[in-house]
Structure 1
Amino acid sequence: MPSYVRTELRPGGFAVVWLERGPVNLMDLTMWQQLMTALQDLEDNQAVRGVIFASGLKRNVFTAGNDIKELYAPQTSMERYREFWVTSNVFLARLYRSPLVTIAAIKGACPAGGCCLSLCCDVRIMTEQGHIGLNEVALGISVPLYWGRLMARIIDPRTAEHLCKFAVLLPPKEAAAVGLVDKLVPSSEELLPIAEAAMIELLRQPDSGRTIVKSRFRDEFSHKWEAYPEQEWPEAWEMLASPPTVKALEATLQRLSGKKTNSKL
């Protein structure tokens, strides 16, 4: 199995989890499984109190989101899709309530699945170049229920609905203005050092009180989210296997591969 996720322990009680699936960190089943394993291992390590998620790629991208091949019905199966969808959402739900301090160090592009991963973190720090948002509608599919609800817990619900409904990808300054991002940094070279400094500062406080408060705010939502994918995937698969969605995703795949298409998507 290829390795797309690398964990690096740092002095001071935290780790950096690097996303390293070139060329743009598309999130397939293997990457989500490896993220789940990395999170579990860190939570089981009593010496680790926090984690930073970062891109290990040279390109200016945190992650380009879910691999469309996992959603394109002609190239996958109902069984594979179920495993993909349940695995990814269980990881995200558990990340959201993790007792660790969690920071997303967002380098550049951060649509869809990458956006949701960052929304699950306690703090989002982003470069001044890039974009972020839940843009699934532009691909002919819907924003997953709990992904949209999560955004509406973090920013104004009316703004969240507008961004999701119209597949808006916000540039960093606008994302910071609505509260989607907590801090901006001028360049990718400064991103990790600033994220590490933020982690060190947050870890100055003892864990006991913070973990209780985080649990009170997040556990109920997180547990409902974790249970929902088993209900969600059959209807989602029906949508993905429908001719209009297949056509829309096929056009997207052709566009990304550089092939000409008559689709207006």
Structure 2
Amino acid sequence: MQASNEVVRWQLAARVARLKIDRPAKRNALANVHWAAIERCLAEIHASDARLIVLEGVRGAFSAGADIDELGELLANPPAFAANNAQVQRTQLALQRSPLTTVAVIDGVCVGGGLGLALACDFRLGSARSRFGLSPAKLGLVYSPEDSRRLVNTVGLARAREMLLTGCLLPAATALDWGLLNRMADDDLGAALLTLLDELASGSAAARAGIKQVLAYLGGDAQADRAAATAAFNDAFASADFAEGAAAFLAKRPPNFQ
């Protein structure tokens, strides 16, 4: 177990890093120190031999977004507010640009910055009682281009417009229909996660990292360019994983990716 602070911690088992936000009394609301802790944990995970990252909250709350108590302090200190905004953006981008495959496990409330974290993941697995929303207009705010792009890439421009301009709160069934959720567990969220992890474990982690490079370019990530995306495509043909995958396909057996 690795702990960045008493709220944010991670552990590694079977090459799956489980990154947990544990602040139930605040419905996992995130202050600056927690955003920084998530960023540190991601750096530690990337330095480990993890192949997958699972980001999870507590029962009834993935994250309620910003910590309201800290918000009052930040309003009185514009430089601190700017630094907090920069920290949030760095953390979300670190998750979005992770070469590892990432899964957000969502039970209960997932709004504001919490939904921003979930949108930075490759997969979002939710329970039937999950709720999703973004309310910048209700707060007199504008979301950053990066935040807004992640939402548009996930649900499309028309639905992103509806979410951002109205601040509506979506139930899990609607979130699944709109693409905010990839999958919704009927009863056992843990069992649904194990099923997804088993599916992912059968594939090549190196190939998934290359696929993410291509998708980042297509998704408009300012740090991704066509050359890197094309290199990911070309390099895969010379990789050990492709040699194994092709051999397994021809032999009609499961691949054993290293």
The TM-score range, normalised by the shorter chain, is 0.7 to 0.9
Match in the other structure for 1:52: 54
Indicate how the Cα distance of structure 1 residues 186 and 224 shifts in structure 2: closer, same or farther if over 3 A, else same: same
Q: Secondary structure at the match of 1:62?
A: strand
Match in the other structure for 1:163: 163
Indicate conservation of the 8 Å contact 1:15/1:48, yes or no. Answer: yes
Deviation at 1:209, TM superposition (A): 1.9
Match in the other structure for 2:90: 90
Q: Secondary structure at the match of 1:121?
A: coil
Indicate conservation of the 8 Å contact 1:99/1:211, yes or no. Answer: yes
Indicate conservation of the 8 Å contact 2:74/2:81, yes or no. Answer: no
In 2, distance between residues paired with 1:50 and 1:104? 11
Match in the other structure for 1:240: none
Match in the other structure for 2:240: none
Larger relative contact order, structure 1 or 2 (CA cutoff 8 Å, min sep 6): 1
Match in the other structure for 2:147: 147
Match in the other structure for 1:185: 185
Match in the other structure for 1:242: none
In 2, distance between residues paired with 1:52 and 1:160? 25
Which runs of 5 or more structure 1 residues have no equivalent in the other structure? 226-265
Match in the other structure for 1:4: 7
Deviation at 1:223, TM superposition (A): 4.2
Deviation at 1:71, TM superposition (A): 3.7
Report the RMSD for the aligned CA atoms in angstroms.
2.1
Deviation at 1:148, TM superposition (A): 1.6
Match in the other structure for 1:14: 16
Greater Rg by CA: 2
Indicate conservation of the 8 Å contact 1:5/1:20, yes or no. Answer: yes
> Deviation per CA, 1:47-84, whole angstroms, max 9, x where unpaired?
200111111x34x1111011234444675412221221
- 1:33 matched to 2:36? The reply is yes
Q: Secondary structure at the match of 1:42?
A: helix
Output the amino acid matched with 1:31. Answer: H
Match in the other structure for 2:46: 43
In 1, distance between residues paired with 2:84 and 2:186? 35
Output the amino acid matched with 2:33. Answer: T
Indicate how the Cα distance of structure 1 residues 72 and 223 shifts in structure 2: closer, same or farther if over 3 A, else same: farther
Deviation at 1:224, TM superposition (A): 5.4
> How many residue pairs were aligned?
219
Which runs of 5 or more structure 2 residues have no equivalent in the other structure? 225-258
Indicate conservation of the 8 Å contact 2:24/2:61, yes or no. Answer: no
The equivalences for 1:1-265 within 5 A come to 2-11=5-14, 13-23=15-25, 24-45=27-48, 47-55=49-57, 57-58=58-59, 60-72=60-72, 76-187=76-187, 190-218=188-216, 221-223=220-222
Indicate conservation of the 8 Å contact 2:130/2:171, yes or no. Answer: yes
Indicate conservation of the 8 Å contact 1:8/1:16, yes or no. Answer: yes
Indicate conservation of the 8 Å contact 2:5/2:37, yes or no. Answer: no
> Deviation per CA, 1:138-174, whole angstroms, max 9, x where unpaired?
2332333321221101112111111111111110000
In 1, distance between residues paired with 2:54 and 2:205? 17
The TM-score with structure 1 as length reference comes to: 0.76
The TM-score with structure 2 as length reference comes to: 0.78
Q: Percent identity?
A: 23
